[in-house]
Structures are given as C-alpha cells and as structure tokens.
Amino acid sequence: MDYKNSKAPRNTVTRDVNKLMEPVGNVYETVAIIAKRANQISLGIKRELDAKLQDFSIPQDNLEETFENREQIEISRQYERLPKPTLMATQEFIDGDLVYRTGNRDEALK
C-alpha cells in the first residue's frame, strides 16, 4: 500500500465517538477494528522501511564504527513525517475503505 499518499491528518484530530461507532454500533468493536488495522499498517511501514534501510547495512565488527549516510537519514525522515498508523486506520474507517467482519454469536445460535 502507498502510505505516502494517505489522506490522514498528520496531527491528532478530535472525533465524535457517536459518529465513529455508527457503522458497527459498538464503540469497543470500532476501537478493536481500528486497532487491528493500525497494527497491520504499522507492520507494513516497518517492513518497507527495513527493506529500504537494508541496502545501507554494512556488516561491522564494532558498533563504534557506524557512520551516517545522507540518503539513509532522508529515508528515515520521510517515514517520520508520515501520519501515525492509528490516524491512517481511523481515516480508512471513516472513508469506508476498511473491510471487516464481525462474528456475532447471538446470530449464530439462532
């Protein structure tokens, strides 16, 4: 996924909880859905960043011999400027881009 083109705000935004929970009907399920998606986004960003930084990895015997590479620093800064995964997941939920399934036990018993 292209996280750089996310429409999520970079700063925390106060949301109306009642409007946020309307699609699901339960605030706890809403939070669980957003949290799971935020974890997925976080792992995706981490894998992408690790893959890009792996190119700069040089096996060294001594930790004191590390040096800074301008390209490596710029890549890290790009990822630091991204919105937080929680904000991205919340924006996806609000936009209706998030697909989720709930297993309602009451309906299964009928």
Residue 23, pLDDT above cutoff 60 = yes
CA–CA gap between residue 76 and residue 47 (Å, rounded): 13
Predicted confidence (pLDDT) per residue in 32-81, tens digit: 999 999 999 999 999 998 888 887 766 664 554 455 678 888 888 888 88
Around 31, how many Cα atoms within 13 Å sit in the side-chain half-sphere?
Answer: 7
CA–CA gap between residue 7 and residue 94 (Å, rounded): 11
Say if residue 16 is exposed, middle or buried (CB neighbours under 10 Å; 0-12, 13-18, 19+): exposed
Q: Please give the pLDDT value at position 36.
A: 95
